[in-house]
Amino acid sequence: QTRLQAGQGYGNTLKCVLTVYRNESLTGFFKGMSFPLASIGIYSSVVFGVFSNTQRLLSQLRHGDPAAAPSLTDMTLASLVAGVISVGIGTPVELVKIRLQMQTQPYTKANVKLNSTVPGSPVYRGPIHCLRTILQKEGIPGIYRGNVAMLLRDVPGYCAYFIPYAMFCDWITPHGSISPHPFSIWVAGGVAGAVSWAVCTPVDVVKSRIQADGVYSNRYKGTLDCILQSYQNEGLKVFFRGLLVNTIRGFPSSAAMFLGYELSLKAMKRCQTETNP
């Protein structure tokens, strides 16, 4: 997804897969994954926790009962808050992942002002070295490079994530059921993930390009400049790069996320009931 959005010469999805495998073998598909894997638990806990607690607070303020069914407005506001909070945690993680994935991307344009490092050669030895290098060269603002684009992606993205999940889960759950079946949760979560990534892909392209910028070159002055340059050089179609990959991967990952979340809540509520009958 990152190579398609921010790289050059990869073409379509199949060509990208073959190129990465031919040039970097299987390890190329796992570059930059250690940092996201180490932080995904914290990130997801914060996002889901902020969303659910904001919903409960709004229900308490509106209806006097935190357990009351949230309205569409409540879900929208809770999604917006979750999206804003997620940027603070997610931006450094995404930045490190993208920098590690893109450090072998060759730059061939003569008008690109390159740094001292030879394009295509590794700049970072790993996620910690990448993070330390960015801090040393760019400071705290460098760690949050692309935060505006990420905010524009995640705020509407989480609205298109939590709201479709709640609506679709309610739609496929039989009337009269106390709680949705695990399969219903899995399907609703998968649909929500696919919808969310389809909505977010245009801004995700911009975010990926801004965060990849800086490994060897400094082309973009900001989010608007990245949008204008990308459109002028490659047309409107550039903002839909990686759409297929995002949508396909969004289904299973979000399905597993929502299923794990809902089953964990049920288990904790059951333990609480047994402890305090």
Q: Could you confirm whether domain 145-276 is CATH 1.10.150.120? A: no
Mean pLDDT of the chain: 84
Confidence band (pLDDT; 50, 70, 90) for 226? very high
Separation of alpha carbons 254 and 189, rounded Å: 5
How much is the CA Rg of the chain, to the nearest whole Å? 21
pLDDT per position as a tens digit, 147-156? 999 999 999 9
Q: Considering only CA atoms, which of 223, 88, 246, 244 is closest in space to residue 161? A: 246
Rounded average pLDDT over 179-184: 86
Q: Which residue has the higher pLDDT, 274 or 120?
A: 274
Structure tokens that stand for 90 in this block = 């997610």
Residue 32 confidence (pLDDT): 65
Mean pLDDT for the stretch of residues 263-272 = 82
Q: How far is CA 269 from CA 140, 214, 262, in A?
A: 40, 47, 11
Which pair of structure tokens corresponds to residue 61? 């303020």
What are the pLDDT digits (tens) for 28-37? 676 767 767 7
Nearest one of 151, 124, 153, 122 to 136, comparing CA atoms: 124
By the 10 Å C-beta count (0-12 exposed, 13-18 middle, 19+ buried), 222 is classed as exposed
pLDDT at site 104: 65
Across the range 121-130, mean pLDDT stands at: 79
116: phi then psi, degrees, rounded to nearest 5: -70, -25
Tokens of 136: 């040393």
Match 């608007």 to its residue by tokens: 224
Helix (H, G, I), strand (E, B) or coil at 109: coil
Q: At residue 216, does pLDDT exceed 70?
A: no
Asked if 245 contacts 13 with a C-beta cutoff of 8 angstroms, the reply is yes
